[in-house]
Chain A
Amino acid sequence: MSALISQLINLFASVILLLAFAMLSQRRIINLIHLYTWQGLAVVGSTTVVAYVTHQPHLYYSAALTLLLKVLLIPYFLHRLINRLNVRWDIETLFNIPTLMIIGIILVIFAFNVALPISRFSDTIAHGTLGIALACILLSFLMMITRAKAVPQVIGFLSMENALFLAATSATYGMPMVVELGIALDVLVGILISGVFMFQIREQFDSLDIRHLEKLKED
């Protein structure tokens, strides 16, 4: 039974990794938001399973918090944002997706190698997924680097936060509740601020293209 449950956790983690890759190569903003929502759902799933196995009530709370925040509230906010900004059907040109994928694979290999010696020391049921979490962090990072528009960058940031949450669950059964609440608050405020920013940026440049924001350079 416990073997099956740990496999279930692994499955959720793998789905999160897969979604991170999908986000890396997704051109449409609206699909990115859907992918982000699914990723949040997978995080909720894995947290709930871990909570069920370990009987840790605070993990149920944090799963509920994640559901509320990352599956309902933030996607709702993002949908409203892209409607208001009128970028719902925006398509971003991405440079060479296969190359991006290869870089992604290299990052995953790197992350797995870094995490392997560490996860041996963890005795949690989900310790294997630490490598996946680190890989997702790096992939979100790559996504943020390669995106030229504001909304995808922010989604990359949020996806990185998902990965960090997964890391916390897999390494230690979640952070203390106070810290988790603080992190959730920071994320919420951060996303609100980024929304404010996007309006300011568009008002100033008539576009959400971050390439306009490359004037400040050392010359």
Chain B
Amino acid sequence: MSISGFFSQLLAIVMALVLAPLLMGWVNQWRAWLQNKSGPGVLQPYRMLHKLFHKESVLAEDASSLFRMAPYMVFGCMVLACAIIPTLSTDLPLSPAADAIALVGLFAVARVFISLAAMDIGTAFGSMGARREMLIGFLAEPALLSVFFTTSLISHSTALTSMVEYLAHKEFAIYPSLAFAGLAFSMVSFAENARVPVDNPATHLELTMIHEALILEYSGRHLALIEWAAALKLFAYSCIGLALFFPWGIAEAEAPLALILAIPALVFKLAIGGFLLALIETLSAKMRIFRVPEFLATAFLLAVIGMLVHFLLGA
């Protein structure tokens, strides 16, 4: 492991931890502006995390150790995920630890833990939320995997760093399959990150909430970790999307200067992505939970068509 590799890996993790709440705040701020509200400011997630970390954590009587362990597991999974995604540079010593398929598994582990923890207390909301979360996960994962299959077919590798390197270096060409995969990936991201067409992060309405129902029993530092993990997950998904479909500006190995330039590029791309996310969320209405399978089936379909089109057209 080279020094520069170590350095870029460290930078990637730190950037993720710092930028993730900011991205969340940015999206929420834009959502507020688009709805003609003044908004809490982009720094609000930091303030919230600060507040929650200073509060006492209240545990339910029936809570087992699983309940206490889950936030750390989820947070750990998300940090690891952010560590292997080439956000700034493709020179990541940790990246051989997990390829794109293992990444999907990593997200699944986090999902399993949070669902188990939600059921652990035995409240109705927790179990309901867990059920819905597993339903969405069960439908979203094949779609996500197909997206990764398409990109790995194009780049002949399943390691995220090699994929991004290949995609960033190839001559400009129109890849219909990549367009399909990109569309499918955005749909999956909406579902996985509990954004509007699938779930509303700002509601506690018992009939509709999914993500909020899971974490209803958490408080204090546990809640802070889970909220931070959620922000990291959004960051991770955004970065995967940007890295695979808009891979410009990501630094290569042995290029320390490029690493410096990669930071503003990333921030710029994330800012645009966050704005678009807020725009889509504002423009669309939350769909009924029975429609979610259709939504995700469409994502799966798009990803599979992308793969098939790649086989047929070789592009």
Contacts and interface: CB of A to CB of B under 8 A. Distances in A.
Direct contact of A and B (CB under 8 A): yes
Interface of A: 3-4, 7-8, 10-11, 13-15, 17-18, 21, 25, 97-98, 101-102, 104-105, 108-109, 112, 115-116, 128-129, 131-132
A64 B176 CA distance: 25
A10 B176 CA distance: 7
A97 B294 contact: yes
Describe A's contact surface by its main secondary structure. Answer: helix
Nearest to B183: A18
A1 B68 CA distance: 60
A4 B173 CA distance: 6
A48 B309 CA distance: 22
A8 B300 CA distance: 24
A112 B180 CA distance: 17
B2 to A, nearest CB: 37
A105 B305 contact: yes
A128 B314 contact: yes
A119 B94 CA distance: 44
B173 A3 contact: yes
B308 A108 contact: yes
B312 interface: yes
Contacts of B246: none
A7 B314 CA distance: 10
Interface of B: 172-177, 179-180, 293-294, 297-298, 300-302, 304-305, 308-309, 311-315
Given A112-B311, A128-B313, A98 B176 contact: no
A18 B180 contact: yes
A112 B301 CA distance: 16
Given A11-B174, A108-B305, A98 B294 contact: yes
A132 B312 contact: yes
Given A8-B174, A101-B297, A112 B304 contact: no
Contacts of B311: 112
A131 B301 contact: no
Contacts of B305: 14, 17-18, 21, 105, 108
Query: Which has the most chain B C-beta neighbours within 10 Å: A13, A98, A109?
Result: A98
Contacts of B177: 14
Contacts of B312: 112, 115-116, 128, 131-132
Given A7-B173, A98-B294, A101-B301, A109 B179 contact: no
